Structure 1
Amino acid sequence: MKLKDHVCLMADYNQWMNQKIYEAAGTLPPEKLHENKGAFFSSIFGTLNHICVADTIWLKRFTPALLAHQALNQILDLSCPESLDVLLCENFSELKDRRQLIDEILSDLVSSLSDEELSQAVSYQNTKGVASTKIFFSLLMHVFNHQAHHRGQITTLLSQSGIDVGITDLVFIVPNA
């Protein structure tokens, strides 16, 4: 499988899962979404917000190296979160819109990439100002794995609230050979 095919599959999977998670979470009243469940980011809402924060930060980091890709133009309008727990949106509807925008940007971006671009080095600074240079493909895999990690936490929190998200396995959308 080419690198581009793999990142496109991951973008499709993440968009599919994010839609499922938001659909399930949207059945809860706001007080349940914001209820402190003892999770790392406190609540379902807090964890959903964190994923959007991290994705925004990563897309902002990618932009200087990939300015030729129009998909990233929309990210330029978004402010860069200063911390991993900054509140991006006041309510669930706004957060859902933000998630959809980020997923569209990721899908558009990966569909326009070449394997050569995925193999290029990208330099950035983390939230503490530490400089790094890593291969872009590996950074994208981190973004997708980070989402999956926290969505797993959210599915647990939703399950504790009596909500079954359903099938969550990547293999469900992997095409047959």
Structure 2
Amino acid sequence: MATSPTSCWPRRGHPGRKRPRPRSDGGALDGLARTLLLSGREPGASPVPVRARNSVTKDQITLLYDYNYWANSRVLKAATNVSREQFAAPARLSQGSLRGALAHTLGTEIVWRLRFQEGISVSTLPSESDFPTLDALQARWAEEERTMRGYLASLGDEALTAKLTYKNTKGMPFENVLWHLLVHVVNHGTQFRGEAAVALTEYGQSPGDLDLLAFLRARA
């Protein structure tokens, strides 16, 4: 009996068909954890335990926030060289201006820290008008950095793997592992610092290299 042209293809459940491997809850973030954990390890070192590969340590999170604040400081320093008009001038950025990009970055850090530390889920981010000048924005950012560093110092490694329940600004409930959210804040800042850097570069005030490797080499 003749077979159809498609009968040679593996069907569902056929042993010849390769099924995609399920991804862990962390997804791409697990890859970050492995990168952080394996960096600096000597060839031939003992394998990292499976449980450790799915988490990070307090020291590693602190390192990411050290980088975050280093990059913030470079952008803010460059911003001191632009005029007040340039600081607030309309620009082709997602937040509308250099001030908008920086205010959004700071506002996001504030909102997430309130969720982490105080269990408060606010319905709005601080607005651009809350920071009418660069001086006002810098002063509030310095305060936020001190508060966030204090919170990070209070954490233990075990706390990083706990799940945090919170609501977004639309009131929708979510639950995520704490260290995933902490990494998210740094990653989010990278995007909007990049937008601010574009505006600064157009004003002739580039903040320079903001890469993680630049930070690591600067502090070596």
Fold-level similarity (TM above 0.5): yes
Partner in structure 2 of residue 4 of structure 1: 58
* 1:94 alignment partner AA: A
User: Does 2:81 correspond to 1:27?
Assistant: yes
Q: Which runs of 5+ in 2 are unaligned?
A: 1-36, 38-55
Query: Number of paired residues?
Result: 164
| Deviations 1:69-114, CA, capped at 9 Å, x for gaps | xxxxxxx9xxx57246453222110111111111222222223311
Q: 1:71 maps to what in 2?
A: none
1:114-148 Cα offsets, whole Å, 9 max, x none, are 11111111110000000011100000001111111
TM-score when normalising by structure 2: 0.69
Give the match's secondary structure for 1:55.
helix
* 2:193 corresponds to 1:151: yes
- Residue 150 of structure 1 and its aligned partner are, at CA, apart by 0.4
Q: Distance in 1 between the 2:197 and 2:171 partners? A: 32
- Map 1:79-118 → 2, pairs under 5 A: 82-83=124-125, 85=127, 87-118=129-160
Gaps of 5+ in 1: 66-75
Which residue of the partner structure matches residue 172 of structure 2? 130
> 1:58: which partner in 2?
112
Determine what percentage of the aligned residue pairs are the same residue: 27
The letter of the residue matching 2:107 is V
The 8 Å contact of residues 15 and 103 in structure 1, kept in 2 or not, is answered as yes
> Corresponding residue for 1:47?
101
Amino acid at match of 2:108: A
Contact 2:70 2:215 in 1 (8 A): no
Assess if the C-alpha contact under 8 Å between 2:123 and 2:169 holds in 1: no
Which structure is larger by alpha-carbon Rg, 1 or 2? 2
CA distance in 2, matches of 1:135, 1:161: 40
- One-letter identity of the residue aligned with 2:213: V
- Could you tell me how far apart the structure 2 residues matched to 1:81 and 1:28 are? 32
CA contact (8 A) 1:12 1:107 kept: no
Which amino acid counterpart does residue 126 of structure 1 have in structure 2? N
